Structure 1
Amino acid sequence: MTDLDLRPVSPLLRTVRRSAPALLGYAAVRVLGLAVLTAWSAARGESARALLSARWDSLWYVRVAEFGYGYEVRLPNGEVHSNLAFFPLLPWLERAVSAVTGLPYADAGLLVTVPASLAAACGIFAVTDRLYGRRAGTCAVLLWAALPVGVVQSMAYTEALFTALAAWSLYAVLTGRWVAAGALAALSGLTRPVGVAVAAAVWAAAIASYVRERRAPGNGGGTRGRRPGGASVPRRALGMLLAPLGAAGYVLWVGHRTGGGPFGYLDVQAGWGNGFDGGLAFARFVAGRFALPFPSALAGPALVAGVALVVWLYVMGVRRRQPLPLLVYSGVVAVLALCASGYFGSKPRLLMPAFPLLLPLATALSRLRTARSAPVVAALAAGSAVYGALWLNGSGPP
């Protein structure tokens, strides 16, 4: 096991046991959301199961699982929607689960999401508990569960799976397990394009730790291959090598398949109307909300407030000296989400994996007595449940 930079499993098991209250709370919030969604959908004659597993992006993942890559839709306006835009790990898992259980691919996607969402919650707890304590870890998990778009965590989407891989990769970085961190980062890169944020966090942490070793007294300006924490330079280098392989491998494969070279994946995304323009298109979209008649015009101030909240939470993380890998990870996720030029309604969903942004709120909530913090969490959970049911029965996640 040491060759793979893994520790005995007992620390991991202790972390899982320690997270039990947080996981129970997480499950309660998500069950509430699903119950409200089921009742709301039934009142409209809709199927909650279909909303969770067989609409929007879920359908594209199912098609990849069933038929592989190569499917595309040509729209009248000239846009080409290719399933090459969707990274392969979730379809692979759907195909594997379907082969074992006999379930349809859509239901297999939901079956993947259940353990993935619990693993994400446990990973968020592990990171937060290590930095700020058990109570803050529980609060961070509950806040993540009760996000307004938290219902996506129960859908056959990649948010839960990606967040699980990202959180545990960050935890591996914080605990000096470099090869595990790199391997998990590679898997996250096979899940979503924003896997580059996890790879960037691994690289930033590895470089920073190397610089600290070089400057440490007694090193003579160099290193003998190991630092006091026991991680060897070769293992750290291997973690760095592994981290970007998932995202880079898929992007290069798409470029080869399409004949577009290294930038072929960007061409695929452009066919969907996606790109990166530094946030100009999003700024124009927000400005356009102010010109709408009341009450639609309220969306403008709400969007500005939402962006301001994201920036403020990130600044608070910097001021409170969050570890570098968390800052790099959440910063890259936020920039990619807010500065993309398409699908403006999906930005809250795209920000969901940036859980370190919640840590200032989690630590503040953890300092309250239970009699005061419990009603806050309950109100957030109820609001998330109602909004999720309204959202999925309306426009839904693009």
Structure 2
Amino acid sequence: MSTRTIEEPAAAAADPDGPPPLSGRLPRPWLFPLLAYASTWILTLGVWAWLGDRNVAQVPSVERRKYHGWELHFVFKDASNYLDVARFGYPDALPLDADGSVKANNTAFFPLLPMLVKAVAVPLGGRYVLAALVVSVVLGAASAFAVWKLADHLRGRRIADRAVVLYCLFPGAFVFGFLYSESLAALLAAFCLLALVKRQWVTAGVLAGIGTAVRPNMVALCAACAVAAAIAVHRSRDWRALWAPLLSPIGGAAYLAWGSLRYDDPRFWFKTQAEGWNQHTDWGAATVRRVLWLDAGVRAEPAQNLMHTVFFVLAVIGVVWLLRERLPAPVTVFTLTVLFLSFTASAQGSKPRFVWTAFPLFIAAAARLRGRTFVIVTVLFAAGFVWLAAWSPLHYGRGAP
């Protein structure tokens, strides 16, 4: 593995001669990822118009009392929890069942996204749903730009253009249309990885530290920072690289420390996850059962299970391409860690939005897919995007894909 794995882009070698990339034909190349992102909202608004009030009966009555019209499409499942945290904060005490176990509650949701919604809601006069929509749109656009920027640095403009199209139209990207934290996580992760390959250690550490306050699986950034620092110290004795792993866990650790003091229990988050939301690490047992259709509970929901199977296969193909493409070690480690954390979680597995969060897969895919093959894959992705965006609200009790 050459020093370039950490320090230099491989763009010049990987970007063959030919007509200008699509982004090069625009007045400003950075408009291209924004246009790619706009296509997701065109599809989303089309789905919302088609859904109309078809999904209203599926929405819990408590949600129907709080939200109306387009809000019922946008405030989907976890989005309602994030909005409640933004409005009311976290509970004063962990709610308990009669047997002493912790009930499902909002401490499972990390604080950065609700903090941003609250900050935007203040100048909007407390209109939290509108603030959430503004935050979602801006973060989604910014994440598309960040992924494009990272891909451009690693493999050149032409591959970056294809990568951001795949990122924006992959079926898991349907969560752009909800108040979900994946786009904020991708935004911070892409810029963190870019800082790592540029050896901007403090910047990378700060971005990773902020990222770990978004979602628990952003601990993958800690792994990426650790690997990048280890390589830099081993090869060039660059001890400044240690700033990245030292700073990387600060955001998530601060939330867990705060909650430990508030609830007088250092395991408050883990108890909420395991007892309240029935989520835990099972080292891939649930994923294997889903992919191989091994139990009756899985087979009872064929559409949901087929989705898990298809996206597991896509993830495996993506990993093979990622390893063959030999992207910088921190980028590869981040991707594999995100997938590992998802596949070994009892309630997550190969859900489309978790595969999508491992976005460097799209850089590797963009390097492999060209011409008509790329167009066919893009169309299939867009069709899957529309199907998931329409299917999920009509099957509210099946979990968020």
Fold match, TM over 0.5?
yes
Q: CA deviation at 1:91?
A: 0.9
Deviates further, 47-56 or 382-391: 47-56
Task: Check conservation: 1:128, 1:140, Cα contact below 8 A.
Answer: yes
What is the correspondence of 1:266-281 to structure 2 with a 5 Å cutoff? Answer: 266-271=270-275, 272-281=277-286
1:6 aligns to what?
Answer: none
5+ residue gaps, structure 1: 1-13, 215-225, 227-232
2:207 aligns to what?
Answer: 184
2:245 aligns to what?
Answer: 240
1:308 to 310, 313, 322: 313
Is 1:320 aligned to residue 325 of structure 2?
yes
Task: Check conservation: 1:289, 1:298, Cα contact below 8 A.
Answer: no
1:162 aligns to what?
Answer: 185
1:138 aligns to what?
Answer: 161
Aligned pair in 2 of structure 1 residues 290, 316: CA closer, same or farther (>3 Å)? same
2:217 aligns to what?
Answer: 194
Task: Check conservation: 1:289, 1:299, Cα contact below 8 A.
Answer: no
| SS across alignment from 2:52 | helix
Aligned pair in 2 of structure 1 residues 287, 257: CA closer, same or farther (>3 Å)? farther
| SS across alignment from 2:123 | helix
Aligned pair in 2 of structure 1 residues 380, 351: CA closer, same or farther (>3 Å)? closer
| SS across alignment from 2:104 | strand
2:363 aligns to what?
Answer: 359
Task: Check conservation: 2:287, 2:343, Cα contact below 8 A.
Answer: yes
Q: CA deviation at 1:266?
A: 1.4
Q: CA deviation at 1:118?
A: 1.0
1:65 aligns to what?
Answer: 86
1:4 aligns to what?
Answer: none
| SS across alignment from 1:101 | coil
What is the correspondence of 1:39-54 to structure 2 with a 5 Å cutoff? Answer: 39-42=49-52, 44=54, 46=56, 49-54=70-75
Aligned pair in 2 of structure 1 residues 22, 62: CA closer, same or farther (>3 Å)? closer
Aligned pair in 2 of structure 1 residues 130, 195: CA closer, same or farther (>3 Å)? same
**Counterpart Cα distance in 2 of 1:341 and 1:174:** 33
Aligned pair in 2 of structure 1 residues 385, 299: CA closer, same or farther (>3 Å)? closer
| SS across alignment from 2:70 | helix
Task: Check conservation: 1:41, 1:48, Cα contact below 8 A.
Answer: no
**Counterpart Cα distance in 2 of 1:52 and 1:297:** 24
State the Cα deviation string for residues 81-116 of structure 1 (Å, max 9, x = none): 121111111111111100012252222111111111
Q: CA deviation at 1:283?
A: 2.6
**Counterpart Cα distance in 2 of 1:351 and 1:288:** 20
1:36 aligns to what?
Answer: 46
State the Cα deviation string for residues 26-45 of structure 1 (Å, max 9, x = none): 212x1222222222221627
**Counterpart Cα distance in 2 of 1:297 and 1:195:** 30
**Counterpart Cα distance in 2 of 1:312 and 1:382:** 19
**Counterpart Cα distance in 2 of 1:338 and 1:162:** 18
2:259 aligns to what?
Answer: 254
Q: CA deviation at 1:320?
A: 2.2
| SS across alignment from 1:100 | coil
| SS across alignment from 1:208 | helix
Q: CA deviation at 1:331?
A: 0.9
TM-score by length of 1: 0.81
Q: CA deviation at 1:301?
A: 6.0
Aligned pair in 2 of structure 1 residues 76, 104: CA closer, same or farther (>3 Å)? farther
The residue type paired with residue 38 of structure 1 is W
**Counterpart Cα distance in 2 of 1:301 and 1:18:** 38
What is the correspondence of 1:71-86 to structure 2 with a 5 Å cutoff? Answer: 80-86=103-109
Aligned pair in 2 of structure 1 residues 89, 54: CA closer, same or farther (>3 Å)? same
1:127 aligns to what?
Answer: 150
Task: Check conservation: 1:117, 1:154, Cα contact below 8 A.
Answer: no
> How many pairs does the alignment contain?
360
**Counterpart Cα distance in 2 of 1:23 and 1:31:** 11
1:377 aligns to what?
Answer: 378
What is the correspondence of 1:215-226 to structure 2 with a 5 Å cutoff? Answer: none
| SS across alignment from 1:81 | coil
1:284 aligns to what?
Answer: 289
Deviates further, 97-106 or 296-305: 296-305
**Counterpart Cα distance in 1 of 2:322 and 2:229:** 20
**Counterpart Cα distance in 2 of 1:175 and 1:104:** 40
Aligned pair in 2 of structure 1 residues 252, 351: CA closer, same or farther (>3 Å)? farther
Q: CA deviation at 1:19?
A: 2.8
The residue type paired with residue 317 of structure 1 is L
Task: Check conservation: 2:79, 2:179, Cα contact below 8 A.
Answer: yes
State the Cα deviation string for residues 237-288 of structure 1 (Å, max 9, x = none): 3333211101111122222323222x33212211211111201133334455
Deviates further, 97-106 or 108-117: 97-106
Aligned pair in 2 of structure 1 residues 73, 350: CA closer, same or farther (>3 Å)? farther
1:21 aligns to what?
Answer: 32
**Counterpart Cα distance in 2 of 1:355 and 1:293:** 27
1:368 aligns to what?
Answer: 371
Q: CA deviation at 1:18?
A: 3.0
In percent, how many aligned pairs have the same letter?
A: 32
| SS across alignment from 1:80 | coil
5+ residue gaps, structure 2: 1-23, 57-67
Task: Check conservation: 2:284, 2:344, Cα contact below 8 A.
Answer: yes
Aligned pair in 2 of structure 1 residues 151, 300: CA closer, same or farther (>3 Å)? closer
**Counterpart Cα distance in 2 of 1:356 and 1:99:** 35
The residue type paired with residue 266 of structure 1 is F
